[in-house]
């Protein structure tokens, strides 16, 4: 539960936005698409299990890029916020 609240707050804080940066971050397009696809195609049980698993080196690298680039992070969150928040709500991960 401790991991879910920060993610929810992050998602909720970034619910507004657009795709103005689409051409500037081609890697972002791929990563955001995969994240949305993962949430849309995974069952609630699979998501609960995945949240407790350690991040791969590639995932850690992408997370570090997002931490280091606020504009890229904002664009990423704008793209994934609604699909993730909807799935988390459906799965009872957020109130």
pLDDT of the residue at 21: 43
From CA 28, how far away is CA 26, in angstroms rounded? 5
Question: What does pTM read for this prediction?
Answer: 0.67
What pLDDT shows up at residue 28?
86
What per-residue confidence (pLDDT) applies to 10? 44
What is the structure's pLDDT at 24?
A: 72
Question: What is the chain's pLDDT, residue by residue, as a tens digit (95 residues)?
Answer: 445 444 444 444 443 344 444 467 788 888 899 999 999 999 999 998 988 899 899 889 989 999 999 999 999 999 999 999 999 999 998 88
Q: What is the dihedral of CA 62, 63, 68, 69, to 10 degrees?
A: 70
**Burial class of residue 86 (count of CB atoms within 10 Å of its CB; 0-12, 13-18, 19+):** middle
């Amino acid at each position: 539960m401790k991991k879910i609240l920060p993610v929810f707050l992050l998602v909720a804080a970034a619910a507004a936005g657009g795709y103005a940066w689409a051409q500037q971050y081609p890697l972002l397009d791929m990563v955001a698409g995969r994240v949305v696809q993962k949430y849309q195609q995974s069952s609630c049980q699979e998501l609960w299990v995945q949240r407790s698993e350690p991040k791969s080196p590639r995932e850690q690298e992408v997370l570090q890029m997002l931490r280091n680039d606020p504009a890229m992070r904002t664009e990423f969150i704008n793209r994934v916020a609604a699909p993730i928040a909807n799935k988390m709500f459906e799965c009872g991960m957020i109130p």
